[in-house]
Structure 1
Amino acid sequence: MSNSYSTEDPREHYELLQQIGSGSYGTVHQAFSNDTSEIVAAKIMAIQDDEEFVQVMKEVEFLKKLSENPQPNIVNYLESYYSKQLKELWIVMEFCGAGSLTDLMRDANRVLDEGEAAYVIRSLLLGLKFLKEKKILHRDVKGSNLLVTEEGLVKVSDFGVSAQLNHTFSKRATFIGTPYWMAPEVFKKSAYDFSADVWSTGITLIELLEGKPPFSNLHPMRAMMVIPTQPPANLRGQRSHLTNIPYSEYLHQFLEWCLQIDPTQRKTVDQLLEHPFLKCATGLENLIAHRYVGPVADNSGVKRNSMDIVSIAGVDTSEPTRKSAEKINAATALRTAPSVEVDTGTVVRPKEKQPDWGTVVQNDVNQYQTMVQQKVEEKVEEKVETKKSVEVPKKSEHASDEEDNEDEGQNKKACNGM
């Protein structure tokens, strides 16, 4: 395990720019790499004792294992640093400038249409397929754990409650997850496997289309009692909240495949990836277009570049903030130069006035000894909103290009509810 982290001072390699998240685990910062001139995300955790260190390092081992063979839809782990003297662990990840799906929907003040949702779910399933091949359960699939790069690539993140399956244990019986997205068998403390992530995928699809998961009006502890006793969740209406177009039969069938009470009746990730609903996938260009900077037009119609945005955004112009902005823009310019491939990244932007439904973690004592971990929300005042210059892709790289025109036409009609 000692090879999983460096004992060097991380501050010699990274300059912290601004805090972008916090919780019971510690804080997440946007950081500038002095070695590569890239913007990254640094998760800084205070380690209380040796037992906690061992548990946290399990997460690092997960991330390191996944990074050995990177998959486009999984957040990329870079490296870790640990100071025994300071009892502080740094986990360095790539940075996702567009934030999470939850952030994007909140900022755009809208839900996803069917094509956008199909694209996100397809990306999620590709990530889960990769995790399954590595024998890893995610166990906390939801919109806020799906992060988006500025190019619109969706990445699965937050493996803090992931569980690796080994040859001895084929199923898990621990109670971990976020209640509104959790499968019924998890509440009952029954042994469960990858089908639990399939259920959460179905709930996440509803979240993307309606803006929130089923039963989110209930307190988390109440939801834990209600969800296992109710029929499978479904869409509240028959028409898109965004377009008012009827939902397609493909969508309804896909949800049915995911949301079976009996986990043995749910389709597998591989089967879901073959469902025609996913051929409706478009992309997230329209959703994230308002975050692109360079060049963009302001209300006057004048185009400005990313450097101009820093000065016209009304942010703090003090020396530390100005230097941070310069670091961000320097890294942006480096990544968006014609001869350099744009680097994508990971981790969420600051959240403001967003409901936090928490993550439920059960101690291994009995099925009633639970707690809801509420994330600590800190007000971030006068922070620099990170925006990088990238060209909006004309078409998602995950959109199906291999179908012939006739199949595409049929799929679009199905997606539009015609």
Structure 2
Amino acid sequence: MSSAARKDDGRSKDVVPEILVDPSGKRYMKGRFLGKGGFAKCYELTDLDSKEVFAGKIVSKSLLVKQHQKDKMAQEIAIHRELNHRHVVQFRSFFEDSDNVYIVLELCRRRSLMELHKRRKAITEPEARYFVKQVVTACQYLHHNKVIHRDLKLGNLFINDEMEIKIGDFGLATKVGYDGERKRTLCGTPNYIAPEVLCKKGHSFEVDIWSLGCILYTLLVGKPPFETSCLRDTYMKIKKNEYNIPSRVSLPARNLIAKMLKADPTDRPSIDQIMEEEFFSSGYLPSNLPTSCLTMAPRFDTLYKSEGLHRKPLLEINDMRPQTADPTKREMEKKESERAQMKGSESQDNWLTDLCGQLSAVVAAKPGEKICIQDDDAIDPACVPIYWVSKWVDYSDKYGLGYQLCDNSVGVLFNDSTRLILLANGENTQYIERDGTEHYHTLRAFPENLTKKVTLLKYFRNYMNEHLLKAGANMTPRESDQIARLPFLRTWFRTRSAMVLQLSNGTVQINFFSDHTKIILCPLMAAVTYIDEKRDTTTYRLNLIEKFGCSKELSGRLRYARSMVERLLTTKSGSVRGRSAAS
């Protein structure tokens, strides 16, 4: 089937029943749409007896016409149903009716490493160590059970509520029938595909090792090792083994990547040998990660000690080598911190420029005049924002603007351009000076000069809890959130029509006064989330709105958003807040 034909069929109006019944009589209720890819659409499925929520992968039989398509589907089910590992998406069951095949799977609400990568680009080495070790552990299990995944990539590494990795999507997986067997199928994803697959030399477990090398490189560098703007050039670089590892990547990480990306598959380490590599033992390995790392780097600083709360010192943020009192090194660290702050400011301007361009393209397409496709082609739940402002109170005539994020954390942007944030656990605080320097304390132990600001933070928190309704769902606090670094309110202004808020992770939020609707814009995901009058929330990709259209209501709000982003661009970081102005 051609890609064009598949795309058209993917938008066919195949009906998925509201209640699904498997052969045993177990009933599932279809819930939120989770996304689509290839031949499948995914929805939340709730077991009506146990109330457990799963992910339902639903494939229309109209797309399984040819025998090889049916065989591929059957092989995916046969392989996945036999797997049982902590870091593999749990297979629950499968069944079919006259229209569809249904696969019931473990639900991973935090999406995948692909969305984290889009928001963060390069992540810290402790995070990469944490994620990749879990993937290696899962691959050990797969390889010991003679399974080659053959499509390991960020988008197939799913994340659950506990921020644990789960390998999923076994559509290209295969089983090795005997020692030394070489598979011949040309399969994989361009940026992760091994040279022996491209050259059709026959392949085995080593293709997964190659993909792991690409994954580690992408997490640490911020882009895949062989990525180009042209598929042919990417394949040529893979065949020639042309890539470069930046010097900022630690030596143990560089060594491991180089070993996994050996052109000759027989030169690559086995999955068991990878686990013994220095990269996993030489640096800090977090036992867990906060939800906030989906959008912001965690804090791996030396944590506080306060009454009843004792933490061992964590190590520095990059390779986590033991800290030293060397003054030269300390000066280098200070300069690195200053460069990071400047880079953060530049990123904000770049994000606003990108967002302005994205909105301009959408507005020029006049999406409100197009006939919306009923299948909601522009919807992409994977782009849903991690944080947004759920409450705010303007007391800027005296002190500043107080706000609450969707996870119940509370912040104040004071009139002197400093910021104070109380995490959702109600204990840890983050104080940010005018120049961006961060300090971490608790609500019980903080410097005396912050007494007034802590008192005001509590006042804002209590006022919002007692008097304001909350928009959006809660995020459940976790122990690891103590090392969270939350996005803070960077700037805001209000017009006659709306409140405009910009967070430090690039998110721009506009709350409309007349009907209490909201739009949340993310330049990194190139997406908009619309919260309507009924408080129903839908996330769209901007380029798909441009292509397929949207409601007149959303179209009008996007036009308004473009003018507000233009205003943010003209003020940039020069002003913390704006006074009331005409819309």
TM-score (norm 1): 0.66
Partner of 2:238: 227
In 2, Cα distance between equivalents of 1:350 and 1:202: 33
In 1, Cα distance between equivalents of 2:550 and 2:38: 17
Partner of 1:119: 130
Partner of 1:16: 30
Partner of 1:91: 103
| Offset of residue 378 of structure 1 | 8.8
- Say which of 64, 71, 91 aligns to 2:85: 71
- How large is the RMSD of aligned CA atoms in angstroms? 3.6
| Offset of residue 98 of structure 1 | 1.1
Q: Paired residues, what number?
A: 314
Q: Secondary structure at the match of 2:82?
A: helix
Query: Residue 61 in 1 paired to residue 75 in 2?
Result: no
Partner of 1:272: 274
Q: Secondary structure at the match of 2:472?
A: helix
Q: What does 1:366-377 align with in structure 2 at a 5 Å threshold?
A: none
In 2, Cα distance between equivalents of 1:166 and 1:353: 46
Write out per-residue CA displacement over residues 81-138 of structure 1, whole angstroms, 9 at most, x where no aligned residue.
201x22x10111111111111112323x342111111111111111111111111111
Query: Residue 238 in 1 paired to residue 247 in 2?
Result: yes
In 2, Cα distance between equivalents of 1:378 and 1:273: 47
In structure 2, relative to structure 1, the CA distance for the partners of 1:172 and 1:19 (3 Å cut) is same
Rg bigger for which structure?
Answer: 2
Query: Residue 296 in 1 paired to residue 296 in 2?
Result: no
Partner of 1:181: 192
In 2, Cα distance between equivalents of 1:100 and 1:22: 14
| Offset of residue 17 of structure 1 | 2.0
With 146-155 and 11-20 compared, the bigger mean Cα shift is at 11-20
- Say which of 87, 105, 115 aligns to 1:103: 115
In structure 2, relative to structure 1, the CA distance for the partners of 1:74 and 1:172 (3 Å cut) is same
Quick one: higher RCO (CA 8 Å, sep 6+), 1 or 2?
1
In 2, Cα distance between equivalents of 1:307 and 1:103: 26
Report if the CA contact (8 A) 2:406-2:471 is conserved: no
In 1, Cα distance between equivalents of 2:199 and 2:542: 32
With 26-35 and 9-18 compared, the bigger mean Cα shift is at 9-18
Write out per-residue CA displacement over residues 312-340 of structure 1, whole angstroms, 9 at most, x where no aligned residue.
9953465xx86xx9xxxxxxxxxxxxxxx
In 1, Cα distance between equivalents of 2:549 and 2:156: 21
Partner of 1:41: 55
Report if the CA contact (8 A) 1:234-1:255 is conserved: no
| Offset of residue 60 of structure 1 | 0.8
Q: Secondary structure at the match of 1:287?
A: helix
- Say which of 242, 245, 258 aligns to 1:256: 258
| Offset of residue 307 of structure 1 | 8.0
In structure 2, relative to structure 1, the CA distance for the partners of 1:224 and 1:144 (3 Å cut) is same
Write out per-residue CA displacement over residues 156-194 of structure 1, whole angstroms, 9 at most, x where no aligned residue.
111111111113872211110011111111110011111
Write out per-residue CA displacement over residues 40-73 of structure 1, whole angstroms, 9 at most, x where no aligned residue.
111110123372333211111111111xxx2111
Report if the CA contact (8 A) 1:182-1:200 is conserved: yes
- Say which of 139, 146, 149 aligns to 1:128: 139
Amino acid at match of 1:272: I
- Say which of 292, 309, 326 aligns to 2:472: 309
Q: What does 1:21-36 align with in structure 2 at a 5 Å threshold?
A: 21-36=35-50
In structure 2, relative to structure 1, the CA distance for the partners of 1:7 and 1:307 (3 Å cut) is same
In structure 2, relative to structure 1, the CA distance for the partners of 1:380 and 1:222 (3 Å cut) is farther
Q: What does 1:363-402 align with in structure 2 at a 5 Å threshold?
A: none
Which structure features the higher share of strand residues? 2
| Offset of residue 351 of structure 1 | 8.3
In 2, Cα distance between equivalents of 1:98 and 1:313: 25
In 2, Cα distance between equivalents of 1:50 and 1:64: 23
In structure 2, relative to structure 1, the CA distance for the partners of 1:38 and 1:289 (3 Å cut) is farther
| Offset of residue 213 of structure 1 | 0.5
Q: Secondary structure at the match of 2:81?
A: helix
In 2, Cα distance between equivalents of 1:159 and 1:268: 21
In 1, Cα distance between equivalents of 2:262 and 2:104: 38
Report if the CA contact (8 A) 1:20-1:350 is conserved: no
Report if the CA contact (8 A) 2:29-2:45 is conserved: yes
Q: Tell me, which stretches of 5 or more residues in structure 1 are unaligned?
A: 1-5, 240-246, 326-348, 355-376, 383-418
Q: Secondary structure at the match of 1:30?
A: strand
In structure 2, relative to structure 1, the CA distance for the partners of 1:163 and 1:380 (3 Å cut) is farther
| Offset of residue 214 of structure 1 | 2.1
In structure 2, relative to structure 1, the CA distance for the partners of 1:11 and 1:18 (3 Å cut) is farther
| Offset of residue 234 of structure 1 | 3.4
Q: Tell me, which stretches of 5 or more residues in structure 2 are unaligned?
A: 1-19, 297-385, 388-404, 413-459, 475-515, 519-530, 554-583
In 1, Cα distance between equivalents of 2:169 and 2:548: 20
In structure 2, relative to structure 1, the CA distance for the partners of 1:166 and 1:199 (3 Å cut) is same
Report if the CA contact (8 A) 1:150-1:288 is conserved: no
In 1, Cα distance between equivalents of 2:44 and 2:410: 26
Q: Secondary structure at the match of 2:184?
A: coil
In 1, Cα distance between equivalents of 2:548 and 2:146: 35
Query: Residue 163 in 1 paired to residue 174 in 2?
Result: yes
In 1, Cα distance between equivalents of 2:539 and 2:183: 33
Amino acid at match of 1:96: C
Amino acid at match of 1:55: K
Amino acid at match of 1:270: D
In structure 2, relative to structure 1, the CA distance for the partners of 1:234 and 1:194 (3 Å cut) is farther
Amino acid at match of 1:271: Q
Report if the CA contact (8 A) 2:21-2:28 is conserved: no
Percent identity over paired residues: 24
In structure 2, relative to structure 1, the CA distance for the partners of 1:195 and 1:54 (3 Å cut) is closer
Report if the CA contact (8 A) 1:173-1:186 is conserved: yes
TM-score (norm 2): 0.48
In structure 2, relative to structure 1, the CA distance for the partners of 1:238 and 1:11 (3 Å cut) is farther
In 2, Cα distance between equivalents of 1:89 and 1:143: 26
